[in-house]
């Protein structure tokens, strides 16, 4: 399991390397190798879900049949966030450990405010989930961390939060570029360039527990159901 | 500009109390050129027409009623046009985007009005040159052939998320709540979207211009133009080599033969009073329209050039500008940095942090009566507003006055500053900086243009630059360069550096990178 995760990370690092800096002209050969690796990873990802979430996977399959589109995958992982201090939208310094160590359920996303396509939908999902939770929302902490911290100053995060009608306990964080990269790396969410980021939502029920990682976009109903199922366990 | 405020002239600091902060700024000294031209929008839209209403729905998500358009994504997430609209994903150009695992297809009128054809050239970069997740690649390979859209099937796509073959569109595509009239407006606009060919491009050539204003030294001019000439020559030689070898193309380059153009550079020299520059730019442009303005070097305000870019909707990429137009930002003018303005803002932040505890800091800023002094001085005053602990005094020097030791002695005696800010010269100026930044601007432009393949749209080019800047090999003048949709300044902060002095031979940074 651990080795597989490392393999996956190695593959990701290789991807970053080839795409970073000057454009490497991909040869067919390299592309085929990549495609093969990706296919193997996809297979492995599916088996991991089966291995770890048997009940949930059945639910997922059923849903997939209904919509004919398997649109997100679930993985359970343990992450070790770096010891960094970020800034909230009021400009107050917030140690990441205290934000993530919140004594209650946490939902975490990486976004940026000028992101055109997936962030408005990811943030919109959290915003819609806020309203679906009802009184439970009091206990839940939502966290959106900007992956474009030099652009996303606290003022811009405030504006973004207003735009999505964020309620009280929702934290919007920015910080130093290197720290933000370190946080993304710790969550296996760093893709070398903000335009390449992927829609991922991380959930955990209480401090110290593993994270449920949801890769892909989903409806607010699905997200709320995932969250409730996690808390109930 | 990455460096500036500095501590120099140690003979002054010795005369001041050593406990007092002393900050000297040596910035670019350029003759006064103030030219403020009222900015106008690039589009000459017909007032009240369907197309104009459609454009507002597309770009801003606002209906003709003034209400935001409402839509549902991912099945149950209600969003409003101000949060998410057509242009967010399909972009202003209509050529779509690729971000994370999301593939957003082009909806330019050419794309919508034709049966979907599979062209490897259009997908080449998405498939082979972008690191995208498996899901994305699978989506791009899925042919999804569909007939051409009609007005009726477009309405169904917008409202119900069905394509002309009856297939359900991705749940990421909003299902819009639009009246028949709204749909008519939007479709009328879509019919104009990237429908006309961009000026400055023909079958064999693509024209670019660069600007050199009066007051730029021959050395600075040469530093920029030599790099540009060399780059254009190299680029054209490379293109010629590619075109000579059809059929021998291991990287599927023949798919791109239609995209190759000879690059032609026009140097637009602006002379005389800045008030006459708009007219000169217009004349140059009438003579030979260009696809984009690449680089440019000037003395004083950049407002006339910026206004030209916005008025004519010409993409402009400016690596050297010290006085860009910061507010309001434009749609077509992209800068490497906010120049003197970001330096003033960074300095204000540093001063506020340092003097936070010490009450009654007396800051004196000295500058000449020229835009190169007035603009950063105004920015510093603005950035320090509402800060009760500082008192900011301005000392404006006549343009022809010499700055003798006696002048400084009497200034120190009269003002008794605890901090002295000088917006005076360009001691950190170097030709290498001009050369490297010019090179990088051309590199980014070349790779951004390559991404367009044959779709020579100016808006698409800008979107491509926004995307490319972060991933291109930054030669290091700026610690970090990155743009994103709508971002107009690639470097967001400033260092404060110490100039070499009696004890230090090298310039060094004094503190962290400041992002104001």
> In tens digits, what is the pLDDT along chain A, a chain of 233 residues?
344 444 444 444 444 433 433 333 334 444 444 444 444 444 443 333 333 333 344 444 344 334 445 589 999 999 999 999 999 999 999 999 999 999 999 999 999 999 988 999 999 999 999 999 988 898 999 999 999 999 999 999 999 999 999 998 899 999 999 999 999 999 999 988 888 889 999 999 999 999 999 999 999 999 999 999 999 87
pLDDT at B98: 79
Q: Report the distance separating Cα A45 and Cα A77, nearest Å.
A: 12
Interchain pair B78, A23: CB under 8 A: no
What are the residues facing A111 on neighbouring strands?
A146
pLDDT, tens digit, for every residue of B370-427? 888 999 999 999 998 877 667 889 999 988 888 889 999 999 999 998 888 888 866 4
The 3-state DSSP class for residue A211 equals: strand
* DSSP strand pairing (A85-88 vs A73-77): unpaired
Interchain pair B73, A124: CB under 8 A: yes
Pick A25's closest partner by Cβ from B79, B251, B471. Answer: B251
Q: Report the distance separating Cα B342 and Cα B376, nearest Å.
A: 9
Report in angstroms the alpha-carbon separations of B232 from B28, B284, B494.
Answer: 29, 20, 31
Q: Are B244 and B331 in contact (CB under 8 A)?
A: no
The 3-state DSSP class for residue B367 equals: strand
Which of the residues B166, B471, B513 would you substitute to probe the A interface, choosing the one with the greatest number of A C-beta atoms within 10 Å? B471
pLDDT at A193: 85
Pick B487's closest partner by Cβ from A39, A114, A219. Answer: A114
| Residues of chain A neighbouring B101 (CB-CB closer than 8 A) | 118, 198-199, 216
Q: Report the distance separating Cα A189 and Cα A215, nearest Å.
A: 10
Chain A residue at shortest CA distance from B73 = A121
Percentage of residues in chain B with pLDDT exceeding 90? 55
| Residues of chain B neighbouring A189 (CB-CB closer than 8 A) | none
| Residues of chain A neighbouring B97 (CB-CB closer than 8 A) | 116-117
Q: Are B50 and B34 in contact (CB under 8 A)?
A: no
Q: Do you find a cis peptide bond into B328, omega within 30 degrees of 0? A: yes
Provide the shortest C-alpha distance from residue A142 to chain B (in Å): 17
Phi and psi at residue B195, in whole multiples of 5°?
-85, -30
Interchain pair A216, B101: CB under 8 A: yes
Paired tokens of A180 = 């933000």
Which of the residues B69, B71, B74 would you substitute to probe the A interface, choosing the one with the greatest number of A C-beta atoms within 10 Å? B74
What are the residues facing B79 on neighbouring strands?
B71
Q: Report the distance separating Cα B475 and Cα B481, nearest Å.
A: 10
Interchain pair B172, A217: CB under 8 A: yes
Interchain pair B99, A195: CB under 8 A: yes
Provide the shortest C-alpha distance from residue B426 to chain A (in Å): 26
User: Locate tokens 């999804």: which residue?
Assistant: B144
Q: Are B291 and B264 in contact (CB under 8 A)?
A: no
Query: Which residues fall within 8 angstroms of residue B480, CB to CB, at 6 or more apart?
Result: A150, A177, B474, B491, B492
Q: Report the distance separating Cα B462 and Cα B93, nearest Å.
A: 9
User: Locate tokens 């969550």: which residue?
Assistant: A187
Pick A197's closest partner by Cβ from B100, B471, B480. Answer: B100
| Residues of chain B neighbouring A195 (CB-CB closer than 8 A) | 99, 467, 470-471, 484
pLDDT band at B471 (very low <50, low <70, confident <90, very high): confident
Q: What is the pTM of this model?
A: 0.82
Segment B13-29 shows an average pLDDT of: 33
The 3-state DSSP class for residue B104 equals: strand
Provide the shortest C-alpha distance from residue A196 to chain B (in Å): 5
| Residues of chain A neighbouring B447 (CB-CB closer than 8 A) | 23
Average per-residue pLDDT in chain B? Answer: 83
Interchain pair A121, B77: CB under 8 A: yes
Burial of B189 (0-12, 13-18, 19+ CB in 10 A): buried
State the count of interchain CB pairs (< 8 A) between A and B: 141
Interchain pair A117, B480: CB under 8 A: no
pLDDT band at B39 (very low <50, low <70, confident <90, very high): very low
Query: Which residues fall within 8 angstroms of residue B401, CB to CB, at 6 or more apart?
Result: B407
Q: Are B58 and B86 in contact (CB under 8 A)?
A: yes
Q: H-type helices in B161-217, by residue range?
A: 180-190
| Residues of chain A neighbouring B515 (CB-CB closer than 8 A) | 150, 153
pLDDT at B299: 84
Interchain pair B101, A199: CB under 8 A: yes
* b/e per residue A174-188 (b: at least 16 CB within 10 A): bbbbebbbbbbbebb
Pick B99's closest partner by Cβ from A26, A117, A221. Answer: A117
Interchain pair B473, A21: CB under 8 A: yes
Report in angstroms the alpha-carbon separations of B380 from A51, B291, B347, B374.
Answer: 60, 36, 8, 10
pLDDT at B429: 56
Chain B residue at shortest CA distance from A216 = B101
Q: Report the distance separating Cα B345 and Cα B353, nearest Å.
A: 12
Paired tokens of A38 = 């990706």
How big is the CA angle at B401 (ends B399 and B403), to the nearest 5 degrees? 120
pLDDT at B3: 39
- Please give the helix or strand (H or E) that residue B282 lies within, else none: helix B277-287
Provide the shortest C-alpha distance from residue B138 to chain A (in Å): 10
Interchain pair B171, A177: CB under 8 A: no
Residue B34 has pLDDT above 50, yes or no: no
Paired tokens of A129 = 């989930």
ipTM of the complex: 0.82
Interchain pair B482, A150: CB under 8 A: yes
Stronger pLDDT, B382 or B40, i.e. the higher one: B382
Nearest of B368, B362, B425 to residue B395 by alpha carbon: B368
| Residues of chain B neighbouring A26 (CB-CB closer than 8 A) | 128-129
| Residues of chain B neighbouring A197 (CB-CB closer than 8 A) | 99-100
| Residues of chain A neighbouring B82 (CB-CB closer than 8 A) | 163
Interchain pair B471, A20: CB under 8 A: yes
Pick A116's closest partner by Cβ from B77, B99, B471. Answer: B99
| Residues of chain B neighbouring A120 (CB-CB closer than 8 A) | 79, 83-84, 88
| Residues of chain B neighbouring A121 (CB-CB closer than 8 A) | 73-74, 77, 79, 84, 172
| Residues of chain B neighbouring A124 (CB-CB closer than 8 A) | 73, 77, 79, 83-84
List for chain A the helix, strand, coil content (%; round to 5): 50, 15, 30
| Residues of chain A neighbouring B89 (CB-CB closer than 8 A) | 116-117
pLDDT band at B119 (very low <50, low <70, confident <90, very high): low
């Amino acid at each position: 399991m651990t080795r597989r995760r490392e393999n996956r990370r190695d593959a990701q690092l290789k991807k970053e390397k080839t795409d970073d800096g000057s454009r490497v002209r991909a040869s067919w050969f390299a592309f085929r190798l990549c495609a093969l690796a990706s296919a193997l990873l996809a297979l492995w990802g599916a088996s991991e879900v089966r291995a770890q979430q048997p009940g949930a996977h059945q639910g997922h399959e059923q849903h997939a049949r209904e919509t004919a589109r398997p649109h997100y995958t679930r993985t359970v992982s343990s992450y070790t966030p770096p010891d960094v201090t970020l800034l909230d939208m009021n400009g107050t310094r917030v140690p990441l450990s205290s934000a993530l160590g919140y004594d209650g359920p946490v939902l975490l996303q990486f976004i940026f405010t000028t992101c055109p396509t997936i962030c408005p939908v990811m943030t919109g999902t959290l915003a819609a989930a806020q309203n679906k939770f009802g009184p439970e929302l009091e206990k839940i902490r939502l966290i959106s961390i900007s992956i474009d911290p030099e652009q996303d100053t606290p003022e811009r995060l405030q504006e973004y939060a207003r735009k999505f009608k964020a309620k009280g306990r929702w934290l919007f964080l920015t910080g130093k570029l290197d720290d933000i990269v370190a946080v993304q790396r710790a969550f296996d969410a760093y893709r070398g360039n903000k335009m390449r980021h992927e829609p991922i939502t991380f959930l955990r029920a209480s401090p110290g527990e593993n994270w449920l990682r949801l890769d892909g976009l989903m409806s607010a109903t699905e997200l709320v159901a995932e969250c409730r199922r996690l808390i109930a366990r | 500009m990455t460096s500036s405020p500095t501590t120099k002239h140690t003979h002054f600091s010795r005369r001041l109390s050593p406990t007092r902060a002393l900050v000297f700024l040596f910035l670019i000294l350029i003759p006064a050129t103030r030219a403020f031209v009222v900015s106008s929008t690039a589009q000459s839209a017909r007032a009240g027409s369907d197309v104009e209403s459609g454009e507002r729905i597309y770009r801003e998500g606002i209906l003709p009623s003034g209400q935001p358009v409402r839509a549902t994504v991912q099945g149950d997430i209600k969003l409003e046009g101000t949060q998410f609209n057509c242009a967010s994903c399909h972009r202003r150009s209509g050529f779509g985007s690729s971000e994370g695992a999301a593939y957003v297809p082009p909806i330019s009128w050419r794309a919508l009005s034709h049966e979907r054809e599979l062209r490897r050239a259009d997908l080449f970069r998405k498939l082979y040159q972008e690191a995208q997740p498996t899901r994305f690649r699978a989506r791009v390979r899925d042919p999804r052939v569909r007939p051409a859209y009609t007005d009726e099937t477009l309405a169904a796509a917008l409202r119900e998320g069905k394509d002309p073959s009856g297939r359900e569109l991705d749940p990421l595509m909003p299902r819009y709540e639009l009246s028949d009239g709204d749909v008519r407006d939007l479709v009328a606009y879509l019919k104009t979207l990237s429908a006309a060919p961009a000026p400055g491009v023909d079958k064999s050539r693509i024209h670019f211009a660069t600007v050199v204003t009066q007051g730029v030294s021959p050395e600075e001019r040469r530093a920029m133009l030599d790099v540009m000439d060399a780059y254009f020559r190299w680029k054209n030689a490379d293109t010629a080599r590619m075109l000579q070898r059809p059929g021998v193309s291991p990287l599927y380059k023949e798919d791109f033969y239609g995209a190759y153009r000879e690059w032609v550079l026009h140097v637009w020299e602006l002379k005389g009073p800045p008030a006459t520059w708009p007219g000169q730019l217009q004349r140059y442009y009438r003579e030979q329209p260009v696809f984009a303005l690449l680089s440019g070097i000037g003395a004083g305000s950049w407002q006339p050039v910026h206004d030209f870019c916005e008025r004519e909707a010409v993409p402009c990429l400016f690596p050297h500008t010290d006085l860009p137009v910061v507010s309001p930002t434009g749609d077509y003018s992209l800068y490497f940095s906010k120049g003197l303005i970001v330096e003033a803002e960074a300095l204000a932040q540093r001063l506020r942090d340092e003097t936070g505890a010490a009450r009654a800091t007396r800051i004196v800023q000295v500058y000449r009566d020229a835009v190169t002094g007035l603009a950063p001085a105004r920015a510093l005053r603005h950035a320090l507003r509402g800060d009760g602990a500082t008192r900011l005094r301005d000392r404006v020097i006549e343009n022809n006055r010499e700055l003798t030791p006696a002048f400084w002695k009497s200034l120190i005696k009269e003002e008794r500053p605890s901090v002295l800010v000088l917006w005076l010269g360009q001691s950190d100026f170097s030709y290498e900086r001009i050369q490297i930044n010019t090179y990088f601007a051309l590199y980014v432009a070349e790779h951004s243009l390559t991404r367009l393949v044959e779709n020579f749209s100016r808006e698409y080019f800008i979107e491509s630059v926004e995307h490319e800047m972060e991933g291109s090999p930054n030669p290091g003048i700026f610690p970090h360069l990155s743009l994103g949709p709508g971002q107009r300044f690639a470097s967001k902060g400033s260092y404060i550096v110490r100039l070499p002095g009696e004890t230090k031979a090298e310039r060094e940074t004094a503190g962290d990178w400041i992002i104001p």
